[in-house]
Each structure stands twice: as structure tokens, then as C-alpha cells.
Structure 1
Amino acid sequence: MSITSAGSLIGSVIALTAATAVTAEVPRVATDIAPVHSLVARVMDGLGTPDLVVRAGGSPHDYSLRPSEARALERADAVFWVGPALEPWLGGSIDTLAPEALVVELLDAPGTVTLDFREGAVFDDHDHGDGAHGSTHDEAHETDAAHDDHDHDDDHEEHDHEGTDPHAWLDPENGKVWLDLIADELAALDPENADTYRGNAAAGRDEIDAAMADARAALSSAGEIEFVVFHDAYHYFENRFGISAAGAISLSDASDPSPARIEEVRDRVRDLGVACVFSEPQFNQNLVETVTEGTSARAAVIDPIGLDLEEGPGFYPALIRSVAEDIAGCAS
């Protein structure tokens, strides 16, 4: 072997060894739902890929882990999830399968804007929103604020929906807060790649800002929007973009609404001349048909968890655009 060839071989071995060392130091990360997975994937871009535990198509409120998903938790150095308000079953699995992992509940993260669940089948705040389409609301509860308890006498058969609404990923300002938190936590676990994590988070924030601008433009072009949603998952999105649903067919995606609730929502649709009633791709479409029967409302589909979107770093800004386009598209 010539000196040149030997030198090339040695250089290749050194490069491979260095690359392997960097890869070995990157934490193994598990996440709960696709929007959180996307934010973590954006921060880890170029270094590694997180594992998704709650697959699209399943309800995060009530989900059974597959063996591969349980293994993802077992090998995780860090777990990022919304928290028990969204996935009451997951905390026990994390404690059992990932007892040594860093665990971050994003809903409790400093700087996260949180909102309380809305009461009843129809929403009282619908008639006095404080922002035009495309604007944001400046006031919201922080994670350390006290939350009032609410009684839901008309829906005894549904899960407890008092306190904080966990669908906080649909406020893109929360997505930006979480990007920075994820970067800081991973930088602490993996200091050698800290600059990459934080640079990726900064780029991700810019991408979310662009998605927010597109969402505002889409909603503004649609004009006044009267709509009802399948379940009350969009409060954060509405609050951020200055729109408001007239009501929700169900408070939860984990149980069916009572006949009385359906009747109340149908009356609301008729009385307000609601243009759109949104179903979700994985749930009972017949309920939407029942609510729109005898009215001029159209049925359309909207998805708070991005069932049809491609997983990965681009998923989160695509989700923000998708929700806005779905709402605006039905109204136009």
C-alpha cells in the first residue's frame, strides 16, 4: 500500500470515528404527539431524529402503546410531552419505562400561554371577541396562574374538562417557546452540540412566524367566519388569530356527546346561520350530519393533530397553515 493510500485510509477511519463519537453523544429522545415530535425534530435536525410515541390516528387522551413505542420510551434519554392533562395514561408509562430519563411537561413550561376549557355546548365569548381576523390576543393565562373550576352539568358522561385546556400546541407562540426550551434541555444533555440545537430553534421560530403570517392572510381573506367544531380543541388557535367558534359538538374526542348537547349545538347553528360545521378525520361523521340537518351549514374537515401531514421538522408550521386554510376554505 502506498503512503498516499495509507494516509487516505487513516483519514477515513479518523473521520468515521469522530462521526460515530458525535452520534453516540446525541441523546435518544421520545415525544408524545406529532406536533411535539416536529418541534423536537426541528431542534435535532442534522444530529438525530426523535421517536414518536403516540401515532397519528389515535386519540392522545386514550392510547395503547405498541411494543415499538414502549421500546422508544425505554431507550430514551429525554421525553418531551404535553402532560397529563392531554394524556393521563402516559405518565405511568414514562415512570415505568423511562425512570432515568429527563422528562419535560411542555404545558407546565415557563412562558407557555394556557387557557381554561370553555363551558357548555355553545361558547359565550363568541359574541364579544376582542380582535379582528388575523390579529392576536395579548392577554392569556400563564402556566402559574390559578385556574377556575367549571361545572359541566349538561355533559356528565364526558371526561372531566375542568381547568387547563391541554391543546396548547395550536397557539404557535407556544410552539416558539417550546422550541427554545427543547434546545436548552438538549444542550444541557449534549453540550458539544448546543450551538446546533439553539441555531435550529432560532430557524424554527422564523418558520413559525412565516406560518403565522400565512395563517393570518388566509383567515383575513375569508372575512367573517361563523363555525362550529367537532370538539373543543381549537381555543388556542382561535385566541391567537382573533376568531371564535360558536360551539363544539363534543367537549372531548374520547366520548360521544349527549342528545341534549347535540340539540343545543344544532339550535346554535340554525340561529346564528353558521356557515361551517367541522368534523375531524378520525371521528364520527354522522354527528356532524345530525347537527347540520335542516340548516344551510356546510360540513368540512379540520384536524388539530395533522393526520395527513408528513412527520418531521416541517410538520408544525404546516399544521398551523393547514388549520387556517381549512377554516378559511369552508367559509369562502
Structure 2
Amino acid sequence: MKAKVLRITTILVLCLLIFTGCSNNTATNTEDEKDFTIVTSFYPMYIFTVNVVKDIQNVKVENMTEPQTGCLHDYQLVPADLKTLEQADAFVINGAGMESFMEKVMEQRKDLNIIEASKGIELIKDENGEENAHVWVGISGAIKEVSNIADGLAALDPSNAEAYKKNAEEYIKLLEAQSEKMHKELAAFKNKDIVTFHEAFPYFAKEFGLNIVSVVEREPGTEPSAGELAELIDTIKKTNCKVLFAEPQYSQKAAESIAKQTGAKVYLLDPVVTGEKDASADSYIKAMDENLKVLVEAFQQNQ
């Protein structure tokens, strides 16, 4: 009888050990499940992508450049950037020529999955026929880019496709509401002539009916010559434009100098190209809401 009890006890202990071992293996497999890593090229792409991947497990988003980098027209890749891209399952870029370094990226990572957020968007061209890449600054462009990012991630990571698209739809509704709010408040103003300091605002201006009288610096940091500055001041005086928009990312000295000579007033308009390192998912909408407040203040004083 004792021998029989001993045999049963031994079998139960063995079963318990086997079951525990299986449970531990399952837990280990779950913990070791590989993250789907998304790298974004710069700040606005990071904000859009963070909204698309919201609350999805095992999906990680990392921004390649520092969030204060600004536009990437002349950005030079550094070794740390290429190291970041080594771990990427997908690389989200604005495209339209914004990331001038893409040829080098493709040389280093021929198999890298690229999601071009501006794909299929009709680009605005300047008087020289050069395409403008600042699509995200207009909210309509931002909406299309968010949709493109979601579609691209869904194709690369089918197991989370539904979640990507659901998150994108929710974020797009917020963007649409912000756009509607801005249209409603800006519609009351007839005179919407402005001068900007960078070619960042054509999409924004087109969307909200702003008239860009002139652009001071075609590229950030490239100050106009004395002749160009004199022509600009003459244009501002002739059009009687009193609203001059500088950007928070750059020095306002040149803007203040022009303002003194023309009687215009300097305001800050944010193209949402830079931000905080740990920026919240609603950063783009907050920036656009602040832009609305600035525009309303400027136009109220200059009607």
C-alpha cells in the first residue's frame, strides 16, 4: 500500500514539474518576441507615426535625428544615424525630396522598407518649377501622410494592420476637427496678406486662404542680399502688408530689421518641424492651435 502511494506521489510531482517547465517556456517565448521597430526621419514624421502605432504592443518607434534638427534639405548622415537604421524594420520618411540623404541610406541598407508619407500628394511648385516638400504643414497634407503611414505599416506588419488603421482613423478625425476650427475662425478675415521667412508655408497658406506676398529666405539661414532685401522692403511697402511671420526655430533679427523699415509687425508661425524630445502625441495639433491664435491676433490688428 505504501509503495503504491509513493508511486502515485512520484507521478504527480513529475507531472507538476513538466507542467511548470512548459509554462516557463511559454513565458520566455512571449518575452523574447521581437519588436517591430519603426524609425522616422525627423520630428513631424515621428509625431504622425506615434499616433498610428498608439497602444500596439511590440511596436517601437524611434526618431533618427534629434527633434531640434529642423528640415532635412541639407542634412548629412552621421554614423549614429546609420546605426539606428540597422535595427529598423521600416523607415518612415516625408519624401518629396526632403530627405536628401536617401541615396546613401539605400547604399547601406538595400533591403530597408521605406514608407514615403507624401506619396501620391500633388506637390506645390515655386516659380522655378522646384517642388516644395513641406506637405505636413498643411493639415490636409498631414491627414494624407498619416493615412499613407498607416497603409505602409499595415502592409509590412499584417498582424497589426487593423490596429494601425483604427489608430490612424481616430487621429485623422482630430486633425479634421482642428482644420474645421481653423477654417471657421479665419474665414472672417478678408486681408490675409503675409510675408514668411522660409518656403515652409505654401501648403498651409493654400489651405487657409493666406496670400504669401513674399518669402525672405528661400532656405533657412540663407540671408537675402542687399539688393534682394531692398526689393523685399519695396514689395512690402507697395502691398501695405503689415504681417511678417518668422519661425520659432530661427533667429528673428532679420525679421525685426525689416519690420522697422516697413512698419510691419513680427509674429511667430510654427511649421511644426521641431519639438521636444519626448513630445506628446498631440503636439502637432497643439502647434496648429497656437498658430491659429497667432493668425487671429495678427489679422485682427491688420484689417
- Do Structure 1 and Structure 2 share a fold, with TM-score over 0.5? yes
Q: Is the 8 A contact 1:27 1:189 kept in 2?
A: no
Q: Which 10-residue stretch deviates more, 61-70 or 273-282?
A: 61-70
Paired-residue identity, %: 21
SS in 2 for 1:175: helix
Matched with 2:152 is: 185
Change beyond 3 A, Cα 1:239–1:82:
same
Q: Deviations over 1:212-254 (max 9, x none)?
A: 1232244235553332111121000111111222111111115
Give the secondary-structure state (helix, strand or coil) at the position aligned to 1:113: coil
Is 2:31 the counterpart of 1:63? no
State the 1:95 CA deviation: 1.4
1:31 partnered with 2:46: no
Classify the secondary structure of the residue corresponding to 2:211. coil
Tell me which amino acid in the other structure corresponds to 1:41. V
Q: Aligned partners of 1:16, 1:246: CA distance in 2, in Å?
A: 62
Query: Is 2:106 aligned against 1:95?
Result: yes
**Contact 2:272–2:284 under 8 Å retained in 1:** no
1:1-332 to structure 2, matched below 5 A, reads 14=26, 17-18=29-30, 20-21=32-33, 24=34, 26-47=35-56, 48-59=59-70, 60-83=72-95, 85-88=97-100, 90-107=101-118, 109-110=119-120, 112-117=121-126, 119=127, 150=128, 162-220=129-187, 224-308=191-275, 311-332=279-300
Q: Secondary structure at the match of 2:266?
A: strand
Contact persistence 1:114–1:164 (CA under 8 A): yes
Secondary structure of the 2:115 match is strand
SS in 2 for 1:245: strand
1:269 Cα offset (Å): 1.8
Aligned to 2:187, the other structure's residue is in SS state helix
Structure-1 separation of matches of 2:280 and 2:39: 13
Q: Distance in 2 between matches of 1:77 and 1:290?
A: 48
Distance, in Å, in 1 between the alignment partners of 2:27 and 2:188 is 53
Amino acid in the other structure paired with 1:262:
L
Q: Is the 8 A contact 2:92 2:115 kept in 1?
A: yes
Structure 1, unpaired ranges of 5+: 120-149, 151-161
Q: Is the 8 A contact 1:188 1:194 kept in 2?
A: yes
What is the letter of the counterpart of residue 203 of structure 1? E
Count residues in correspondence.
Answer: 282
Measured at CA, do residues 187 and 308 of structure 1 come closer, stay the same or move farther in structure 2, by a change above 3 Å? closer
- Matched position secondary structure for 2:223: coil
Output the amino acid matched with 1:204: Y
1:116-169 Cα offsets, whole Å, 9 max, x none, are 12x3xxxxxxxxxxxxxxxxxxxxxxxxxxxxxx2xxxxxxxxxxx42111111
Relative distance call for 1:101 and 1:197 in structure 2 (3 A) is same
**Structure 1 Cα separation of the partners of residues 178 and 26 of structure 2:** 42
**CA 1:81–1:248: 2 relative to 1, 3 Å:** same
Task: Choose between structure 1 and 2 for higher RCO, CA contacts under 8 A separated by at least 6 residues.
Answer: 1
Contact (CA 8 Å) 2:117, 2:149: kept in 1 or not?
no
Check conservation: 2:245, 2:268, Cα contact below 8 A: yes
Counterpart AA for 2:285: P
Q: Residue 45 of structure 1: SS of its match in structure 2?
A: coil
Distance 1:49 1:267 in 2: 51
RMSD: 2.9
How far, CA to CA, are the matches of 1:16 and 1:218 in structure 2?
55
Q: Which has the larger radius of gyration?
A: 2
